[in-house]
Every structure is written in structure tokens, then in C-alpha cells.
Amino acid sequence: MKLTFCCANTPPEPWLEGLRAALPEAELSVWESGAPPADYAIVWSPPQVMVDQQPGLQAMFAIGAGVDKLLGLRLPPGLKLVRLDDAGMAVQMAEYVCHAVIRHFRDFDAYAAAQRDACWAQREPRRREQFSVGLLGLGVLGSRVAQALRAFEFPLLGWSRSPKALDGVQCHHGADGLNDFLAGSQVLVNLLPLTTETEKLLNRDTLGRLRPGGYLVNVARGAHLVEADLLALLESGQLAGATLDVFRTEPLPPEHPFWHHPRITVTPHVSARTLRDESIAQIARKIRALQRGESIAGVVDPVRGY
């Protein structure tokens, strides 16, 4: 079995070392133009020429959960594109989102500011039963985040494409379910894949339909959000704040207004990192399953876009 590694901005050696240990029978290479044919590729932002020059590929394994950038490639019909499912990302996402939600719920930013002024000022507690958290996306990450948030007894809502039943979550689905979902949510957490249907879904209209004092946590993709609309809604007071991990342009340019906005928290796309060992173990397991002719999880449907 031949495996080629083609991941932009990723030093290959630690990956190759892990892959050698996990799949000792595999012949490994780092892809370069004109390389001999491989059966499987491990990829992140590969160039089109890699796909074109590897007609024997059976599957391409992305080292991320979101494959929006890869769907821009022209892929031959039989080639499976496989994403990471969880591989250690779900618990990280749960940490990040719980932190952002609780920081807002408990007014920790205000206490940090008060400490800077040596000011002892207790604030009125928010009412938990009114602090509803809506999760856009109830897939691998969204359902793990819901499980974590449930422990804090916030009212939870969720929105997905197909109907879902999740313990403790009021589930909505499809375009018809979006309005009720938004109208019932005060905090909105975005965990959708970026597709033609979900691009710019976070805009003046949808964010404006949140309950008063709405708050946005965007941990999916920057292109889900119309950035100027968020700024306008913060300016008008319709939204209370936002925690943003992903941006239309990454790295976020130094002059971008999000950096210094008093009600926006910025992190540099770190809410759920790809963990190398977990990812290698998952990819190796899936390659072995494919070799045995079994089906695997995480195969991307190019029509659906995720």
C-alpha cells in the first residue's frame, strides 16, 4: 500500500514518523510533482495538480474536520474525500464553547475590568432559565458541545439539516425550523460546515432575530459571518458581544476592527486543533477498514458539501 503526504504548512516528518508506526506495511512519501502513484493521500490544501497526477488514489484523508477548501478541487468520481471526525477535536470544542458561554453568563470580562480599577462591585446574577444557548449544527462537534453545556443547565436549542433527537436539546431543522430556533436563542454558537447553503448565514437578519442581549460564538468558519453586519448590530446594541475564533481573512489583519472592539473576543483559529497522534490513529484505522472492503465514517458527500 502506498501513501503520500501533501499538507500545506505542515512539517511532514512528525506525521511520517507516526504513520510509519501506525501502518508499518505502507510505503510513505511526501508528494511532489511527478511522484509515483499512491493509493491514499493525507492532505491539507493540496494543489489541483496533485489530484490530477494521482489517478490511482482511492481516498484522500483531510487532516481537518471542515473540508470547504478541498471541495474547490476537481475530484474524479470514485475518489473518496474523508474528513476527521472528532479525533480529539470535540472535547476541545466543548472546552472552548463552555468557556465563552460561561464567561459571558457570569460577566467575567466585567470583573476583569473592575479588578484593573481595584473596584469591588458585585453584579446582578443573570437568570439561567432565560439564558438559552442555540447550537447551529448538531454533528460530531455540535452534539459534544451540547452534552457539555447540558451540565450547566442552560436551556439548549439546536438546528441541523435533518431531524435530530438529543437529550435536553430542543431540536429544530431545515429552513422552516430556523426562525423558531433563532427566536428562542440568546447565545448563538455556530458549528456548521461551510457550504453554499450556510455561507453568510450569520447576517443582520438572522443575528437580529436572536433574543434581546444576543451573543455570538463563531467557531466554524469566517465566511459564515457577514462581518459588517455583526459590527452594526453591536453598535446598535442589538447584540451584546461576540467570541470569534474564525475569520474571513486569516490571519486576521492587524488593522481589522475586531481586534480592538470592546465587546469582541478574538482567538486565532484555535478552538479545536488537529491533534497529530489522534488523527494518525483514526486515519490508519480507516485505511485498514477500506483495505478490508468495509465502509468508514467521515466520507464527504460532495453534493451536500460536508
Ligand X SMILES: NC(=O)c1ccc[n+]([C@@H]2O[C@H](COP(=O)([O-])OP(=O)(O)OC[C@H]3O[C@@H](n4cnc5c(N)ncnc54)[C@H](OP(=O)(O)O)[C@@H]3O)[C@@H](O)[C@H]2O)c1
Answer yes or no: are the C-beta atoms of 147 and 91 closer than 8 Å: no
In angstroms, what is the minimal distance from the CB of 248 to ligand X?
Answer: 14
Size of residue set near ligand X by CB under 6 A: 30
Q: Does 296 bind ligand X (CB under 6 A)?
A: no
Q: Kindly indicate which of the ranges 27-35, 146-154, 159-167, 228-236 contains the residues binding ligand X, using the contact rule CB under 6 A.
A: 159-167
For residues 147 and 291, which CB has a smaller minimum distance to ligand X in the complex? 147
In angstroms, what is the minimal distance from the CB of 196 to ligand X?
Answer: 9
Q: Which residues inside 2-61 make contact with ligand X, applying CB under 6 A?
A: none
Q: In the 8-state DSSP scheme, what is residue 275? A: P
Going from the C-alpha of 8 to that of each of 44, 76, 168, 191, 302, the distances in angstroms are: 6, 21, 40, 24, 22
In angstroms, what is the minimal distance from the CB of 121 to ligand X?
Answer: 34
| Positions marked active-site | 221, 269
Q: Does 229 bind ligand X (CB under 6 A)?
A: no
Q: Does 182 bind ligand X (CB under 6 A)?
A: no
Q: Does 198 bind ligand X (CB under 6 A)?
A: yes
Residue with cell 469566517: 222
* Sequence-distant (≥ 6) Cβ neighbours of residue 220 within 8 angstroms: 66, 136, 137, 190, 191, 192, 193, 194, 246
For residues 38 and 140, which CB has a smaller minimum distance to ligand X in the complex? 140
Q: Does 306 bind ligand X (CB under 6 A)?
A: yes
Among 12, 22, 61, residue whose Cα is nearest residue 38: 61
Residue with cell 482511492: 58
Distance CA 205, CA 226 (A): 10
For the chain, report the end-to-end CA distance as a whole number of angstroms.
27
Rg, the chain, Cα only: 21
Among 3, 50, 101, 137, binds ligand X (CB under 6 A): 137
Could you give the string, one character per residue 79-108, with x where binding to ligand X holds by CB under 6 A and - elsewhere? ------x---x-------------------
Q: In the 8-state DSSP scheme, what is residue 184? A: H
Q: Kindly indicate which of the ranges 7-15, 46-54, 123-131, 158-166 contains the residues binding ligand X, using the contact rule CB under 6 A.
A: 158-166
β-pairing, 80-82 vs 59-62, is parallel
Residue number closest to ligand X, CB atom: 139
> How far is C-alpha 87 from the chain's CA centre?
13
Among 23, 63, 216, 272, binds ligand X (CB under 6 A): 272
In angstroms, what is the minimal distance from the CB of 107 to ligand X?
Answer: 25
81: how many CB neighbours lie within 10 A of its CB?
20
For residues 6 and 220, which CB has a smaller minimum distance to ligand X in the complex? 220
Positions touching ligand X (CB under 6 A) are: 65-66, 85, 89, 137-142, 159-162, 191-195, 197-198, 219-221, 245-246, 269, 271-272, 306
